Amino acid sequence: MVTIARAEAAEVWRWLEEVPDPEIPVISVVDLGIVRDVHWAGDDLVVTITPTYSGCPATEVIAQDIRAALAARGLERVRLETKLSPAWTTDWLSDAGRAKLSGYGIAPPAHKVVDASRIMKPAIACPRCGSARTAKLAGFGSTPCKALYRCDECREPFDYFKPH
Amino acid sequence: MSAAQLELLLRLGDNALVLAQRLSEWCGKGPVLEEDLATTNTALDLIGQARLWFGYAGELEGKGRDEDALAYRRDAHQFRNVLLVEQPNGHYGDTIARQFYFDAFHLPLLRALSASSNARIAEIAAKSAKEAAYHLERSTDWVIRLGDGTEESHRRMQQSVDDLWMYTGEFFDADAVDREMTAAGIAPDPAALREPWLAMVRKVFAEATLAVPGEAWMQRGGKQGVHTEQLGFLLAEMQYLQRAYPDAKW
């Protein structure tokens, strides 16, 4: 019987906070709300993740990155479980994650997802100059999770992380 | 597992896959860069949804068919998508009209399926509905922009919605599969989705200054595997690699 020095779940969470999202490397998979649970099942570490958008190509990369990050900490027996419900929502974005998005030039979701029929209606502040004089150019940007906007004040285009 | 449940999952997965394949044909040649991206992102969402439906269908069937086998190893008569989604892209107005008719049907369908008595169907539908809401928002915006645009865009958009109208009737036809699924609380009665769909079409067309097409002969058969000639050409391209090199891996 080999005794394994088991990392506390809280410590694993901290390690996962260092795993960047492959599409938006300024925020981590924890900031994004992709990691839903971490617990030990016997000698296996079980990490539960949820995909953001169904077709997001980053999902598989994220799983690989999580495995690699944990392997680098000496954790080899890692089981990744995918959970669809409750469906991922931008309401799970951490405050730190929102601030990092803004600093990176991506406007964070303007509100919580309360009424899905009003999703794109509020004025979105420009992450560069803060002006609310902005206009949507397209409902989808460089990835499905973002829309493309233009600031009519500073004239810069920017991405908007849509409430989802 | 009932045969009807497998049919239901194939209908859902095939609608998403076939429309995604059509939208992917715009990749690199959208009318403007933003639309090129938006079209292919919509396709990406739909491919993701198709994978979820097929993954579950393959598990339920229990014959070892995975999502790839279902996507690449079935021929046209084994596909269960509605005829609308296999229609060619045409010009951008045609693509937008097809997308709007489908989105206005897809979103309420997915929302109703979110309350399915089958928990797995409910969770896939709830996730997909959030994506479909953005698809509908976009196609609605474009129907209005092109319908209430220039004289030419209005004329062409009206022609597009008229041309595709005959493919919308089968959304709401219930057959034995639908009746069994409705009775089991797994899926909504398709007929019950018709009025909300029509109300949405009327509202958006009014804003777009477009006339809602009147009573017409409706094409049907896609849900039962009787397709237009368009699907065979689409599959020939989509399935080429797996047909030519079976089991080829990326």
Residue of A nearest to B46 (CA): A55
CA distance B76 to B196: 31
* Residue A161 CA to its chain's centroid (Å): 10
Question: For all residues of chain B together, what is the average pLDDT?
Answer: 96
Write out the two tokens for B159.
Answer: 């022609």
Q: Determine, yes or no, domain membership for B36.
A: yes
- Report the range of poorest mean pLDDT among A126-140, B99-113, B183-197, B223-237: A126-140
Whichever domain contains B104, its CATH number is 1.20.1260.10
Tens of pLDDT along A68-92?
999 999 998 999 999 999 999 999 9
In a domain, B63, yes or no: yes
Percent with pLDDT over 70 in chain B? 100
Statement: residue A116 has pLDDT above 90: no
Q: What is residue A141's predicted lDDT score, i.e. its pLDDT?
A: 83
B interface test, pick of A53, A142, A145, A146 with most B CB neighbours within 10 Å: A53
Residues of chain A with pLDDT > 90: what percent? Answer: 66
* Average pLDDT rounded to a whole number, residues A7-23: 92
Query: Which residues span the domain enclosing B224?
Result: 3-244
Is the confidence metric ipTM above 0.85 for this complex? no
Whether B33 has a pLDDT exceeding 60, the answer reads yes
| Weakest mean pLDDT among A23-37, B11-25, B152-166, B194-208 | A23-37
What is the bridge-based pairing of β-strands A157-161 and A106-107? Answer: parallel
For a pLDDT cut of 70, what percent of chain A falls above it? 91
Higher pLDDT pick, B57 / A117? B57
Closest-CA residue in chain B for A84?
B123
What is the model's pLDDT at position B1?
A: 57
CA nearest to A5, candidates A65, A64, A46, A45: A45
Residue B56 CA, distance from chain mean position? 18
On the question of pLDDT at A119 being above 60, the answer is: no
CB-CB neighbors (< 8 A) of B137 in chain A: 119-120, 139
CA distance B138 to chain A (A): 6
Q: Residue B74 pLDDT > 50, yes or no?
A: yes
pLDDT of residue A114: 53
pLDDT, residue A20, reads: 95
Task: Tell whether B38 is covered by a domain.
Answer: yes
pLDDT value at position B215?
86
Q: Does B91 touch chain A if contact means CB atoms closer than 8 Å? A: no
Residue B183 has pLDDT above 60, yes or no: yes
Of B37, B46, B128, which is closest to A140 when you measure between CB atoms?
B37
Q: Is B250 contained in some domain?
A: no
- Domains assigned to chain A: 9-88 (3.30.300.130), 104-161 (no CATH)
Q: Is the pLDDT of residue A1 over 50?
A: no
Angle of the B119-147 helix axis to the B151-164 helix axis, nearest 10: 140
Q: To which H or E segment does residue A46 belong? A: strand A44-49
User: Would you say residue A34 has pLDDT above 90?
Assistant: yes
In a domain, B29, yes or no: yes
Domain annotation covers residue B19: yes
- Residue B249 located in a structural domain: no
Whether the CB-CB separation of A66 and A48 falls below 8 Å is answered with: no
Set of chain A residues whose Cβ sits within 8 Å of the Cβ of B48: 51, 53-56
* pLDDT at residue B13, as a whole number: 98
The whole-number pLDDT of residue A2 equals: 47
Structural domains counted in chain B: 1
**More confident site: B65 or A143:** B65
B34, B41, B137 member nearest A144 (Cβ): B41
Report the pLDDT averaged over residues B182-189.
98
pLDDT of res. A55: 86
pLDDT of A117 strictly over 90: no
pLDDT at A121 exceeding the cut of 70:
no
How far is B43 from A144, CA to CA, in rounded Å? 10
Q: Are B40 and B26 in contact (CB under 8 A)?
A: yes
Q: How far is CA A108 from CA A88, A140, A155, A158, B118, in A?
A: 16, 15, 19, 11, 35
Determine, yes or no, domain membership for B54.
Answer: yes
**pLDDT tens string B83-141:** 999 999 999 999 999 999 999 999 999 999 999 999 999 999 999 999 999 999 999 99
